[in-house]
Amino acid sequence: MKMQKRKLGNSGLEVSALGLGCMGMSFNFKPIPEKKDMIALLPQAIERGVTFFDTAEMYGPFTNEELLGEALAPFRSEVVIATKFGFKFEDGKPAGTDSRPEHIREVAEASLKRLKTDVIDLFYQHRVDPNVPIEDVAGTVKDLIEEGKVKHFGLSEAGAQTIRKAHAVQPVTALQSEYSLWWREPEKEVLPTLQELGIGFVPFSPLGKGFLTGKIDESTSFESNDPRNAAPRFSAEARKANQALVELLNIIAKNKNATPAQIALAWLLAQKPFIVPIPGTTKLHRLEENLGAVNVELTAKDLQGINNATSKMKLQSERYPEHLAKMFGR
């Protein structure tokens, strides 16, 4: 299997067509895997052609960056590491956004140490901070780029207007937001803006937090500490309504001799040449399955068929309870 490469917009930053989201290796979904197993998995991803790894100070917090720093140090010149700033922490827990310029600088220094590197390849603002003008954020990252501590600037879950304002100060290399067959909100405003400005798009949760793999149905029960319990789209009623999408993926997968997950990823790759999904996994067989998506060919007719079928579905895909939903796409 030969991994393809893609460029993130006009920036010239070239990465593997599929990256690896590393959050679950030390954060969020219990049980947290053994660190030694994850240190073994990361080089296996590189062996299979992955060159793009996604982390954040928030994941752990801090332990995920340390994990990547240790595992990727021997391969540092071959890989692109993306990390994120923009939260403050109290007692080891996130306590709201903080993108004040002095805080961004502190985070950059701390992330460089944890990642065992002298430059951050891609530095995202993790969430838009309503208390700090985006121009100040972009200006601070611009300074870090000029100082040689950061190579590229990214935004996460930002709306079109914020992207434009930031890009005018310091060109944005990539936007990271959720995008999948299940969550197509970015198609309205964000994707056209990225295309116009020459910005790459890095979809997280490209498999709908596991739903699009076909392994979750209305009878699935999650661990009590699983964050999916709080998501409207993972209620039993929503899972039942959304099963139609999984059935569609199953049908196409059989025809293409692929898996539903591979079809979901191939669909994303077929949307735009500047899209680089970052499915997360902690298992080698899942990593290999995901990477197999680059060899799945969806024709124009296939894509049209998927669009026609999904346009008739009444999907329940709200991601967050209402009070949290306000934080995104600002």
Taking the C-alpha atoms of residue 246 and residue 243, their distance in angstroms, rounded to an integer, is 5
Q: Annotated catalytic, 124?
A: no
8 A C-beta contact, residue 197 and residue 167? yes
The β-bridge partners of 7 are 14
Do 126 and 56 form a contact (C-beta atoms < 8 A)?
Answer: yes
124 in helix, strand or coil?
strand
Please state, as a whole number, how many other Cβ atoms lie within 10 Å of the Cβ of residue 304: 10
Question: Hey, what's the torsion of the CAs at 287, 288, 294, 300, to 10 degrees?
Answer: -90
Report how far residue 245's alpha carbon sits from residue 2's, in angstroms, rounded to the nearest whole number.
Answer: 29
Residue of 59, 124, 179, 320 with catalytic role = 59
Instruction: Read off the DSSP letter of residue 115.
Output: T
- Cβ pair 286, 207 in contact under 8 A: no
- The residues assigned a catalytic role are 59
